[in-house]
A and B are shown apart, each in its own frame.
Chain A
Amino acid sequence: MFRFRGGIHPPASKELTQGKRIEDAPVPEVLAVPMVQHLGGPAKPRVSKGDEVKKGQLVGEASGFVSANVHAPVSGKVAGIEERPLYQGIEAPCVVIEKDGREEWADGANVERDTSSLSPKEIVEAVFDAGVVGMGGAAFPTHVKLTVPDDARIDTVILNGAECEPYQTCDHRLMVESPGTIIEGLLLAMRAVGAESGAVGIEANKPDAVKAMSDAASSFGNVTVLSLPVRYPQGSEKQLIKALVGREVPPGKLPLHVGVVVQNVGTANAICEAAAWKRPLIERVVTVTGDGVSRPGNYLTRMGESATELLEHAGIRAGVRKLIAGGPMMGIAQRTAEFPMAKGVTSLLALMDAKPSDWQACIRCGRCVEVCPMGLMPCDLSILIESRDYDGAEESNLQDCFECGCCTYVCPARRPVVQMVKLAKAELAKAKKRKQSAKTG
């Protein structure tokens, strides 16, 4: 095993939900299914008001290669297509469905089939059809990752079961409760990309998951399950690759440049369901947790369910100060709970105590440099960005930052380094666009 540099040890706070079995969340009367649940082009609505839909029926069609299909999570009637605010901070069309309660599957969906004869192409097609995206939070379309360019060769598929974000236990529970499906998904992904071996990385604070996954993988000689040291961000793609196979993805390159494809364990589960049962991705495990809910747990939730209803089911308390979609290190703070659940929402974290923090000048303690897993100097980046020197920040490797938040977590001056980095990246993208349009126009 290989060690990556930097990292932090925030309180895990997983004891709230790590022992709680995955439980079905009640399906609400009305669901608003977003057309943007993934990175890339928005899906195009393929139904209109008044249409009857079946569970698993295509309601939004991928608008290109880097896009993903969206399916009806229930059977019922389309009440309309409305613009709704989403957890990502954007507004996008949502197909609003009133359920009929019959839970009738669409034709051809939820049909078991033998996967042993599926070709790589057929696997990728099944994944595309089912609208599978990265379930670790990034929601990048999975079929894109499984499509290997002609000039690349993949030897290893890595499954990410690190779940290094504090509070989150959705992957943990899935590994304990459905290890067989996950391993089958891994084998299908390996076949799809032509990889000989598979490796699963799990942080050592989940011994039951390590055991369940090892048992499930024991009959496959080319799959190894490894227990990794507990250190955030162990589950970051580049750091995980380094830990498991000792390779470093060069700046600006993708894992496939070092012969690796990384999938989250939840994604592997979805790949298996897509290929073996023709089940589209219409539900996921969501950890609902924090001191702001009285019944924290891991809930199997349909896409399009309103976060308000899920939080009410988990017993949200009065006086919650902060609501986060995702984990506390990289999740997105929400102004309200009025947003639909989506494929990329790993958890809802409700916190009773949150106050806006004042920040001050950098005292150059160097802690951010020590913890940065990418070998950057966040102190210098923040000072450059503070003086609006975005080009200077780019020269100081701004684009290598993946916003894990380690620097900001440790900063004694409470500097919002991640916020500054996001701002600088947005400003640079804007400037680039301006330059391009000036050239062409």
Chain B
Amino acid sequence: MEQFLVETSPHIRATQDVRRVMWTVVVALIPAGVAAGVFFGYWAIRLVAVCVITSVATEAVIQILRRKALTVDDGSAVVTGILMAYVLPPNSSILVGTVGSFIAIAIGKQAFGGLGHNIWNPALVGRAFVQMAYASKVSLSEWPVLNEITHFSADVRGVDAVSRASALAVDFTKGTYSVADLFLGKVPGCIGETSALALLIGGAALILLRIVNWRMPLSYIGTVFALTWVLPSPYTGWFGGMPFYHIFAGGLMLGAFYMATDMVTTPVTGKGIVIFGIGAGVLTTVIRYYGGYPEGVCYAILLMNTATPLIDRYTGPRVFGAKK
């Protein structure tokens, strides 16, 4: 007698699986990588390669040691590697990239049980670690950028580069960097974060493919926009801020489109996502204006990651037919 495959319903499935989600994010991160090559030279690209290889290798070794199924081809470690590199300064050593990526995967992800079980965004765990471990190499007062004549083969660590203060460390009212330069990415900063344009191209694609929930970038960036305009900064009074400068400067675009949208570590409902976005926006602005660091995106997202289980608990949808 003929035997058929027996499974519980439903018997048809949507096409988008985890692997496709992750590799789509990888593709969406390419424009920012191209911008990194243009503005910081081939060394930046090499750093991306180092971080991706370390991330994937770390994940593979841990899965082999734990006798778990090898899932490095799902693309999630590749995403973490790319993001790890994108939040490092362009002259970071191979050591910093390697250690950061190792910590991101080993401590940030696999120590919790792997994809789906981690509490914090792995790349930001790696970033927070190197921030402490290599403070002088990562938190720079002077950031290297290529000379005015940019060419891809230039090395940002050498004679082709000049050093300038990062956009968030200067008095933004003085016009050191124009909003247009910030938008394009011709400013000092971490390699993948400077070009808002490149990040928006990839981010828009992810929204259209419904991998990124539009509520997150809108609520996060919108909150930073409103608060940096309204709140008094060390350089300006009430309602005297420069919101466009602040949304394009630093790591906000990268964080809002690619890190605060990490599915595992952010809320599951639309309402929860908006709460997360507003919370991250408030923390980012407060750290930028009144904290000890010029940039607050990394810690803002990590803190909101911590609050995510709590947010999920109170933002569940109304059960059909039940009174709220």
Contact = CB atoms under 8 A, between A and B. Distances in A.
Interface of A: 4-5, 8, 10-11, 166, 238, 242, 248-251, 253, 320-324, 326, 328-338, 349, 351, 354-357, 360-366, 369-370, 372-377, 379-380, 397, 400, 403, 405, 408-414, 416, 418-419, 422
A363 B116 contact: yes
Given A248-B320, A250-B321, A363 B4 contact: no
B10 interface: yes
A400 B322 CA distance: 10
B204 interface: no
Contacts of A412: 14, 16-18, 20-21
Interface of B: 1-14, 16-18, 20-21, 71, 113-117, 213, 263-270, 273, 312, 316-322
Contacts, number: 166
Nearest to B16: A412
The winner among B12, B115, B263, B318 for most chain A CB atoms within 10 A is: B12
A332 B115 CA distance: 32
Contacts of B12: 10-11, 166, 328-329, 409
A373 to B, nearest CB: 7
A408 B10 contact: yes
Most buried by B among A329, A377, A416: A377
A334 B4 contact: yes
Closest 8 CB pairs of A and B: A361-B116, A366-B268, A405-B10, A419-B8, A375-B317, A365-B263, A248-B321, A250-B321
Nearest to A4: B320
B71 A379 contact: no
A5 B4 CA distance: 35
B113 A321 contact: no
Contacts of B213: 366
Contact of A364 (B263, B316, B319): B263
A400 B320 contact: yes
Given A360-B18, A373-B320, A405-B10, 12 more contacts: A251-B321, A322-B11, A328-B9, A335-B3, A336-B4, A349-B11, A366-B273, A397-B319, A400-B319, A400-B320, A408-B9, A412-B14
Contacts of A323: 4
A419 B17 CA distance: 19
B248 to A, nearest CB: 28
A41 B9 CA distance: 25
Contacts of B320: 4-5, 238, 242, 248-249, 251, 373-375, 400
A379 B263 CA distance: 12
Given A405-B10, A409-B14, A363 B321 contact: no
27 contacts: A238-B321, A250-B321, A251-B322, A320-B4, A321-B4, A322-B4, A328-B10, A328-B12, A330-B9, A333-B8, A333-B11, A336-B1, A336-B4, A355-B5, A357-B13, A361-B115, A363-B18, A363-B116, A363-B264, A364-B268, A375-B320, A377-B316, A397-B319, A403-B9, A412-B16, A414-B13, A419-B7
B116 A337 contact: no
Contact of B9 (A333, A363, A411): A333
B11 A331 contact: yes
A329 B11 CA distance: 6
B321 A335 contact: no
B9 A405 contact: yes
Contacts of B16: 410, 412
A326 to B, nearest CB: 8
A361 B11 contact: no
Contact of A366 (B7, B71, B113, B263): B263
Given A253-B321, A372-B317, A375-B317, A329 B10 contact: yes
Nearest to B6: A333
Contacts of A422: 8
A193 to B, nearest CB: 21
Nearest to A258: B321
Contacts of A351: 11
Given A322-B4, A336-B2, A413 B116 contact: yes
A366 B266 CA distance: 9
Interface core residue of B8, B20, B264 (most chain A CB under 10 Å):
B8
Nearest to A330: B9
A267 B18 CA distance: 42
Nearest to B322: A251
B321 A356 contact: no
Nearest to B273: A366
B3 A413 contact: no
A250 B10 contact: no
A326 B10 CA distance: 11
Contacts of B117: 361
